Amino acid sequence: MYKSIVVAVALFNEGATSRGLIKQANRLVDPDGIITLVHVLDEVPAYLAAAITREQLMEHRKAIREQLDSLAATARAKTVDIDIRGGRPSENILACAKECHADLIMIASHKPGMSDYFIGSTAARVVRHAQVSVLIDR
């Protein structure tokens, strides 16, 4: 059993992949444990940022928060936290795990393609640099 689990949440496919990770986290977390759902917002390229209003960004963030709240309701830990960050996903997932004193990081991964061998997927980067156990779901 794990005291603190960080679940990297991706919100494509209506969060179906993340729901599966949360189900697994529910089985692995200590009764008094913490599950932290972390979602990393993609950086908006500068050429697009000028065309997006502050209200649009706030609406987007609000929609993401609502989706994360819905996912958090399915987590059965004593404490469930939500952490929304912006920037590079692998760096932010690792930073969240460090700040939460996590003893497990859970992340979904797609089947690797040729580009992953040269660039590396987010899951691969997390595995290479994590200081704690990482569970990858495919």
pLDDT single digits (tens) 102-134: 999 999 987 666 555 544 588 999 999 999 999
DSSP state of 100: T
| Residue where the block lists tokens 């704690």 | 132
Residue, of 137 and 6, whose pLDDT is higher: 6
Q: What is the pTM of this model?
A: 0.88
Q: 44 by DSSP, 3-state: which?
A: coil
Q: Is residue 104 a contact partner of residue 6, using CB atoms and an 8 Å limit?
A: yes
Q: Is residue 7 a contact partner of residue 21, using CB atoms and an 8 Å limit?
A: yes
13-17, 128-132, 133-137: least confidently modelled range: 13-17
Q: What angle do CA 17, 4, 68 make, to 5 degrees?
A: 40
Which run of H or of E encompasses 30? Answer: strand 29-41
Digit-coded pLDDT (tens) for 39-75: 999 877 778 778 888 899 889 899 999 999 999 999 9
Domains of the chain: 2-137 (3.40.50.620)
**pLDDT confidence of residue 49:** 77
Q: How many CB atoms lie within 10 A of CB 107?
A: 28
Longest Cα separation, the chain: 47
Which run of H or of E encompasses 47? Answer: helix 46-49
The identity of residue 6, as a single letter, is: V
